[in-house]
Structure 1
Amino acid sequence: MTANPVHTALWPAPHASGAVDATVHVPGSKSVTNRALVLAALASEPGWLRRPLRSRDTLLMAGGLRAMGIEIEEGVGPDGTGEAWRVLPTGLRGQATVDVGNAGTVMRFLPPVAALADGPVRFDGDPRSYERPLNGVIDALRHLGARIDDDDRGALPLTVHGGGALDGGTVSVDASSSSQFVSALLLSAPRFNQGVEVRHTGSTLPSVPHIRMTVDMLRAVGAQVDSPDSGGEPNVWRVTPGALLGRDLTIEPDLSNAQPFLAAALVTGGRVVVPDWPARTTQGGDRLREIFTEMGGSCELTDYGLVFTGSGSVHGIDVDLGDVGELAPGVAAVAALADSPSTLRGVAHLRLHETDRLAALTKEINELGGDVTETADGLHIRPRPLHGGVFHTYEDHRMATAGAVIGLAVEGVRIENVATTAKTLPDFPDLWTGMLGA
């Protein structure tokens, strides 16, 4: 693996001089914001998104919807307080070009929307986006009646020739490489003439909480969804056609993006408070409470938010992260600083994320003196004394935050292209130094 030579700026990762004690306001969830944008765009009436995340991925989603004719007004909420976006579902037009960047949600959620547009919609993105699998969405949409030109690559760039409507119906999808294949079809399904019945045919299904999030959000805007978690057939989801409501939705904090800050409390034996942590959520990041407690911390969920405290010791863990693969880089970083070995399982699909995360974590931690080996479906990490050096990020936001966690305990770590964190966590360097009291 090679780092992108275009992004050579190095950020000296702050080294913690003592226990962290901070309150960190984590911005809104990318996963919730981007799903909410799609559902609001397909609704039959205007809707509000309060406290949306403003990051590269969410701005790309908003930009893609705007390109297809949806009006999204940015301002304050209907009560005159707080940042909010008003979404006006003014109809979907073709003759558009959508820049997906390297956002999995954008490249997978918007082609089904484009199939409902009146005319062709071209999708393009960063060079890495060409390597990420889209065949699950492309093949399914073709089966449901859409016409798509992708030169048989099963990947970007591609053009969806929207016909103003889509028949829908029953379709089989192998979502082993990404649960987003399922969510992509479900989100637009209420607008399909026959709705949709999605059958997952693969042997594994990663990131199931993200599908539950999609189902919950569909139900919240009036969709009828039959799913495995509500007593339905395993690996089958059915969405009935019908109008979607415009809602006034407040976006939860992004719990996955809270990970580096909770890790800071764990690694330094300190305390971090994350306000507004929800008591009930479909976000996979909520598992951090369980994982980081097993690794040596303790947490308390209060009316104000989550209070997480490190004990001063960090323990290894043997954990299946198949449902929450986005947490693997941060868990690996903490595991490299633990007092016993760790094994991370169930995350073979991370080889197809923003970068091959398993290869990247192995290479970067080992170049700092670590002992990480890849397994068929994850990583085995044996803690070793680490030293400073350059931590490459491969334009992957979670690689950057993982390197920052290691830098708390290891002097001289320099993060290449820390600006890539803007993909989902804007202003990360300022939040990080602010947490440390700098």
Structure 2
Amino acid sequence: MTGSLDSLWPAPTATDPVDAVVTIPGSKSATNRALVLAALAAEPGFVRRPLRSRDSLLMADGLRALGIGIEDTLNSSSGVSGGGDAWRVLPDQLNGPALVDVGNAGTVMRFLPPVAALADGTVQFDGDPRSYERPIGAVIDALRSLGARIEDEGRGTLPLTVHGTGGLVGGTVTVDASSSSQFVSALLLSGPRFQQGVEVRHVGGPVPSLPHIRMTVEMLRAAGAQVDAPEDGGEPDVWRVAPGALLGRDIVVEPDLSNAAPFLAAALVTGGTVVVRDWPERTSQPGDQLRDLFTRMGGSCELTHEGLRFTGSGRIHGLEADLHEVGELTPVIAAVAALADSPSHLSGIAHLRVHETDRLAALAAEINALGGDVTETADGLRINPRPLHGGVFHTYEDHRLATAAAVIGLAVKGVQVENVATTAKTLPDFPGLWSALLDSTTTVKG
């Protein structure tokens, strides 16, 4: 448990059904993948409408530390207001010595060591205290087997040092990615720059969050890489990337659909309507499954010319669901389930114990502290709805815990969220966006 009680944020309670149009900032997952691919490309490229949050800024700064030029640009035709609406990425010679601060960003701590192995010089990685506890050993071991020299004093965790030699042989590597799909994506993203490319063979339990690997594969192909993946009829749990130059591209980042979860939940909880602008008709983002999951919990939705229109029915039903592929949606779904009219069982999410915090333990502890009845299972949560009361909801430096607390606060008076500022990890100015959501005269813009 972290943070000061002096930083408590009173979660607003809804007095009427919400009726709002919401613009969600860009996808963190797509932004950080796009930055890595642009940095490894053979020519400059643009990343437009990127997410500008702590995690994406850490990624940009990490690449800058490796010698990549990243400039802010502004394109008035894009319709996006604010500072700069794009990053222009100028690939340069990767070099060191460098210090990369990963914060507590899984994509940064896992995607950048393979890039650093391609650098000419020494690169040190460090981060927040929680980053020392998050698994990265599979990436370290894989890179070593592919020819990289890495020092971690045998911990298999941060901090660590990568001694880049300007290139990496690559080849075939075996990885246990049962605790994070990012282990696979990390190797695939840099694979085109390895001399022999890379073949990643997963061994172990099911890989969580497979849509994120599909996103990696799609973005690699769009950048000109040749990729073989299981969904193309290839071997199960085997991905291959051929060596070759990557194209500098003009990439427009989709809205972060996972960050739409609390806003859609607000429609479900209050029996109102929320339109999320620019919801793509086709996407590899896991958040797209919110349409099905929240419909099963009592809402209805349709894709319109403006985006996704989601409407709550005034009733919330419990949910029996395997969230293995969409684990990041669990905190908000659990919050909604705590307000439902029947029990819920969320399974397939044991890997959430090694995310920003142990999300299963944290959700059980904090919802129960408000009068709930949540029990942990081996791979998930059982939630029996009970009348909830106000109180402090601790966030454990976890952005998705904070947004889950805000959802509960819509229906429960007196919920105080500790360290709501942690939402800046992926959703800048969440408190402002959330307050605007409850003002039906306001269009909510991220």
Contact kept, 8 Å, 1:190 with 1:241, in 2: the verdict is: yes
Per the alignment, residue 443 of structure 2 pairs with none
- Give the 5 Å matches for 1:172-183: 172-183=174-185
Per the alignment, residue 43 of structure 1 pairs with 41
Per the alignment, residue 302 of structure 1 pairs with 304
Specify whether residues 78 and 110 from structure 1 end up closer, same or farther in structure 2 by C-alpha distance, changes over 3 A only.
Answer: farther
- 1:77 deviation in Å? 3.5
Per the alignment, residue 151 of structure 1 pairs with 153
Q: Quick check: 1:21 aligned with 2:23?
A: no
Contact kept, 8 Å, 1:20 with 1:271, in 2: the verdict is: yes
Contact kept, 8 Å, 2:173 with 2:199, in 1: the verdict is: yes
1:393-419 deviation per Cα after TM superposition (whole angstroms, max 9, x unaligned): 000000000000000000000000000
Q: Quick check: 1:205 aligned with 2:203?
A: no
1:283-313 deviation per Cα after TM superposition (whole angstroms, max 9, x unaligned): 0000000000000000001121000000000
Query: Which residue of 166, 169, 173 corresponds with 1:167?
Result: 169
- 1:8 deviation in Å? 4.4
1:56-108 deviation per Cα after TM superposition (whole angstroms, max 9, x unaligned): 00000000000000000012139686411100001201100000000000000
- Give the 5 Å matches for 1:360-371: 360-371=362-373
Query: Which residue of 9, 12, 31 corresponds with 2:29?
Result: 31
Residue type of the partner of 1:288?
Answer: L
CA distance in 2 between partners of 1:358 and 1:7 (Å)? 23
Contact kept, 8 Å, 1:259 with 1:330, in 2: the verdict is: yes
Residue type of the partner of 1:354?
Answer: E
1:248-272 deviation per Cα after TM superposition (whole angstroms, max 9, x unaligned): 1110000000000000000000000
Contact kept, 8 Å, 1:77 with 1:85, in 2: the verdict is: no
Per the alignment, residue 11 of structure 1 pairs with 9
CA distance in 2 between partners of 1:137 and 1:359 (Å)? 26
1:337-365 deviation per Cα after TM superposition (whole angstroms, max 9, x unaligned): 00000000000000000000000000000
Gaps in structure 2 of 5+ consecutive residues: 441-446
Per the alignment, residue 444 of structure 2 pairs with none
Contact kept, 8 Å, 1:48 with 1:77, in 2: the verdict is: no
Secondary structure in 2 aligned to 1:257?
A: helix
- Give the 5 Å matches for 1:14-163: 14-77=12-75, 82=80, 83-163=85-165
CA distance in 1 between partners of 2:3 and 2:435 (Å)? 26
Contact kept, 8 Å, 2:4 with 2:418, in 1: the verdict is: no
- 1:324 deviation in Å? 0.4
TM-score, length-normalised on structure 2? 0.97
Gaps in structure 1 of 5+ consecutive residues: none
Contact kept, 8 Å, 1:25 with 1:274, in 2: the verdict is: yes
Residue type of the partner of 2:60?
Answer: A
Please list every run of at least 4 consecutive aligned residues from structure 1 whose deviation after the TM superposition is greater than 2 angstroms: 5-8, 77-82
CA distance in 1 between partners of 2:78 and 2:58 (Å)? 26
Query: Which residue of 264, 267, 270 corresponds with 1:268?
Result: 270
Contact kept, 8 Å, 1:368 with 1:389, in 2: the verdict is: yes
CA distance in 1 between partners of 2:406 and 2:77 (Å)? 38
Question: Among the aligned pairs, what percent are the same residue?
Answer: 75
1:410-429 deviation per Cα after TM superposition (whole angstroms, max 9, x unaligned): 00000000000000000100
Secondary structure in 2 aligned to 1:312?
A: coil
Contact kept, 8 Å, 2:102 with 2:126, in 1: the verdict is: yes
CA distance in 1 between partners of 2:138 and 2:266 (Å)? 38
TM-score, length-normalised on structure 1? 0.98
Q: Quick check: 1:410 aligned with 2:412?
A: yes
Secondary structure in 2 aligned to 1:306?
A: strand
- Give the 5 Å matches for 1:160-309: 160-309=162-311
- Give the 5 Å matches for 1:299-338: 299-338=301-340
Indicate the RMSD between aligned Cα atoms, in angstroms. 1.1
Q: Which stretch shifts more, 108-117 or 82-91?
A: 82-91
Specify whether residues 148 and 6 from structure 1 end up closer, same or farther in structure 2 by C-alpha distance, changes over 3 A only.
Answer: farther
